[in-house]
């Protein structure tokens, strides 16, 4: 019996269950592929996710988005039109940033790296000058040199920490100011309909492809960074339409392939209407709205405020445990 037959008319006929993927694979044993490691589809996906999905800050972010949605009476595509992001029981539509976002990310990275580099240089210089002063007895000259070094590095360190922490503040409080979000999404996952939609990045809301989630293959692709180290991205590829979509907007490129394997498991669990939603902090306030999830939580007696009643240190501990498991995934 299908999920739709079990749960009335909430889920569309195209809603994803592992059986549909199994049947599709059996019907399409030979299909086009792309360069990269093709990831497996799980018959029963474990409750997993990336390190970022378990961040304590996701509780406040998700609640803020929900408050905005309720205050403005937003439904459907209007949620993204107004808020430029959607992450709930029905859809995941990550923000689509303008090209200037890369410059801001670089500025924040330079700020963070520059601050710690300045601190390291000052520490080494102070240590070295003090050692010299002890052996030479020239304390006055050494303290004078330390003062001059601190005077030189202080404005540089101040600028670096401004770029780093100022960017982080704007990223959390006013992302539209920092990055400049585009008016249309890059892609959408819809649990209720089971469809994965890829949009034209140059034409707002124009679809390049909309197809059932189970028709896509997932790949890990690697590319060298500026230092030659492999950096991985998660890609969904339709083997018959030959259209691919990087999922960097939701799951940023990383040197840890296990994190993106966990991201792929998270997406399968999110879309599988035969299982409850992934139990992560950001989705907790939406769990009661999804029929499968609400029924499962009622059977298990799950505390509806499991994440929200947990202190930050406890959430952080779970996050670290998940991360340690993820880095071993292949």
Running DSSP on this structure, what letter comes out for residue 256? -
Per-chain mean pLDDT for the chain: 87
* Radius of gyration of the CA atoms of the chain, in A: 24
CA-CA distance, 28 to 31, in Å (whole number)?
A: 6
| Distance from C-alpha of 213 to C-alpha of 236, rounded to nearest angstrom | 9
Tell me, what's the pLDDT at 174? 61
Determine how many CB atoms are found less than 10 A away from the CB of residue 154.
Answer: 12
Q: Is the pLDDT of residue 175 over 90?
A: no
CA 10 to chain centre: 27
Q: Judge residue 71's burial from the number of C-beta atoms within 10 Å of its C-beta, 0-12 exposed, 13-18 middle, 19 or more buried.
A: exposed
CB 160 within 8 A of CB 115: yes
pLDDT of residue 98: 66
Percent of the chain with pLDDT over 70: 88
Enumerate the H helices of 137-249 as residue ranges: 139-173, 175-179
pLDDT in tens, 276-302: 999 999 999 999 999 999 999 999 999
Least confident range of 131-135, 186-190, 288-292 = 131-135
How far apart, in whole angstroms, are the C-alpha atoms of residue 289 and residue 84? 22
| 3-state percent helix, strand, coil for the chain, nearest multiple of 5 | 50, 15, 35
- Which residues, other chains included, contact 137 with Cβ-Cβ below 8 Å and sequence gap of 6+? none
Can you give the residue ranges of every domain in the chain? Answer: 3-96+181-326, 100-179
Give pLDDT tens digits for 51-91. Answer: 999 999 999 999 999 999 999 999 999 999 999 899 999 99
30-45 pLDDT tens trace: 899 999 999 999 888 8
Are 44 and 18 in contact by the 8 Å Cβ rule? The answer is yes
């Amino acid at each position: 019996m299908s999920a739709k037959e079990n749960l009335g008319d909430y889920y569309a006929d195209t809603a994803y269950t592992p059986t549909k993927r199994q049947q599709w694979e059996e019907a399409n044993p030979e299909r086009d592929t792309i360069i990269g490691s093709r990831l497996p589809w799980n018959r029963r996906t474990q409750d997993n996710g990336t390190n970022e999905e378990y961040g304590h800050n996701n509780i406040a972010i998700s609640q803020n988005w929900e408050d905005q949605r309720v205050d403005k009476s937003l439904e459907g595509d209007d949620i993204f039109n107004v808020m430029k992001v959607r992450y709930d029981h029905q859809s995941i539509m990550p923000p689509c940033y303008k090209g200037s976002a890369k410059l801001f990310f670089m500025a924040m990275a330079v700020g963070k790296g520059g601050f710690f580099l300045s601190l390291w240089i000052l520490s080494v210089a102070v240590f070295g000058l003090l050692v010299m002063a002890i052996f030479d007895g020239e304390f006055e000259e050494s303290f004078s040199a330390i003062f001059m070094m601190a005077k030189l590095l202080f404005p540089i360190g101040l600028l670096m920490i401004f770029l780093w922490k100022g960017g982080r503040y704007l990223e959390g409080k006013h992302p539209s100011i920092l990055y400049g979000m585009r008016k249309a999404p890059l892609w959408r996952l819809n649990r209720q309909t089971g469809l994965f939609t890829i949009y034209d990045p140059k034409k707002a809301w124009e679809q390049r492809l909309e197809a059932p989630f189970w028709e896509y293959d997932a790949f890990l692709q690697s590319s060298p960074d500026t230092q030659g180290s492999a950096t991985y991205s998660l890609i969904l590829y339709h083997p018959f339409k030959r259209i691919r979509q990087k999922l960097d907007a939701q799951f940023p490129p990383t040197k840890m392939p296990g994190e993106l394997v966990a991201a792929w498991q998270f997406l399968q669990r999110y879309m599988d209407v035969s299982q409850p939603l992934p139990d992560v902090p950001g989705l907790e306030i939406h769990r009661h709205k999804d029929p499968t999830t609400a029924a499962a939580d009622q059977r298990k007696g799950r505390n509806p405020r499991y994440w929200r009643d947990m202190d930050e240190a406890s959430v952080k501990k779970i996050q670290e445990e998940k991360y340690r498991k993820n880095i071993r995934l292949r």
